């Protein structure tokens, strides 16, 4: 399919005169288009749920979440992966992004990298892709050679392959084991897929990674019990989580947090089962680090 035929490349009739609009009308036009993104994502929730369930299985078996893509799509994947470390204490070795053109492509365009089929294979070989891994390949058009090649190589290795695109019936969707394709339509600025398409991809990746984290026991109720307390804000958040989860006052929560070695999940188990920090840590290790009500019952 020619690029001019893609929905993401067509001209948007609602913004044809955006260069002559008053500023308030300009931003209203963009906002109206953005409202369509959540509706488009809603239509692919079944696919997202399937990707979460299959991805969680691989992750539980020791597999990695490998986000891969070019340009804006690749950067969105890298951003999602990076955030899993401070939020859920996921090792950067188990969730990371690969960008066409390497790390420098995070900050500047690397010409021609997205057109290389061989580069994607090399990049995945360099991280020793295995059948336990999850390859999340992202491209608004669904036809980027680098991103498509990543899926095809992932299938060869028998990894789980997931595509995140924004056009209908595209090569990446056809190749991936799970295809997620919210159709957002033409962009306000023709072809500028960092806008609606990028927003849709971010929403999908948020759901995908958060769902996998929930399914693998890194969330208790709706609290991030594996948060890394690496600064004052996150230390305070950790104490607040304990106050909310255990219905205790701040002073008690702070003492409990300190005695648990600054680990929220350990602190909760200590409090609920009246265990030492060492016993609580052992309990978690024996229960796949899961905090579930049933696990507390003696």
Q: Which residues are catalytic?
A: 83, 114
Residue 65: strand, helix, or coil: strand
CA-nearest of 48, 23, 85, 76 to 234 is: 85
Q: Give the bridge partners for 69, in sequence order.
A: 99, 138
By CB atoms closer than 10 A (0-12, 13-18, 19+), residue 161 is: buried
Q: Which residues of 81-117 are buried (b: 16+ CB within 10 A; e: fewer)?
A: bbebbbbbbbeeebbbbbbbbeeebeeeebeebbebe
Which stretches within 130-227 are classed as H helix?
145-157, 171-175, 196-215
Is residue 185 within 8 A of residue 7, CB to CB? The reply is yes
Q: Which two tokens stand for residue 251?
A: 């002073």
Report the phi/psi class of residue 290: left, alpha or beta, with left for phi > 0 and alpha for psi in -120 to 50: beta
Is residue 98 within 8 A of residue 66, CB to CB? The reply is yes
Is residue 256 within 8 A of residue 242, CB to CB? The reply is yes
Kind plus residue range of the DSSP H or E element containing 86: helix 71-88
């Amino acid at each position: 399919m020619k690029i001019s035929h893609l929905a993401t490349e067509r001209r948007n009739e609602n913004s044809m005169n955006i260069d002559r609009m008053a500023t308030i009308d300009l931003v209203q036009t963009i906002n109206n288009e953005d409202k369509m993104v959540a509706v488009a994502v809603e239509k692919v929730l079944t696919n997202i749920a399937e990707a979460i369930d299959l991805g969680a299985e691989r992750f539980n078996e020791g597999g990695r979440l490998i986000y891969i893509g070019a340009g804006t799509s690749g950067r969105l994947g890298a951003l999602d992966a990076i955030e899993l470390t401070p939020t859920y204490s996921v090792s950067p070795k188990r969730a990371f992004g690969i960008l066409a053109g390497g790390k420098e492509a995070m900050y500047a365009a690397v010409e021609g990298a997205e057109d290389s089929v061989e580069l994607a294979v090399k990049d995945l070989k360099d991280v020793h892709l295995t059948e336990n891994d999850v390859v999340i390949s992202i491209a608004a058009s669904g036809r980027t050679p680098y991103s498509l090649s990543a899926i095809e190589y992932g299938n060869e290795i028998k990894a789980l392959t997931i595509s995140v695109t924004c056009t209908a019936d595209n090569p990446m969707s056809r190749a991936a084991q799970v295809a997620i394709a919210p159709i957002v339509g033409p962009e306000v600025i023709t072809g500028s897929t960092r806008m609606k398409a990028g927003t849709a991809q971010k929403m999908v990746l948020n759901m995908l990674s958060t769902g996998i984290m929930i399914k693998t026991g890194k969330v208790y109720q709706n609290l991030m019990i594996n948060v890394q307390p690496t600064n004052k804000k996150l230390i305070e958040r950790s104490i607040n989580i304990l106050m909310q989860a255990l219905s205790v006052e701040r002073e008690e929560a702070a003492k409990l947090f300190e005695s648990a070695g600054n680990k929220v999940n350990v602190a909760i188990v200590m409090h609920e089962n009246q265990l030492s920090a060492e016993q609580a840590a052992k309990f978690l290790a024996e229960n796949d680090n899961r905090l579930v009500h049933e696990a507390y019952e003696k």
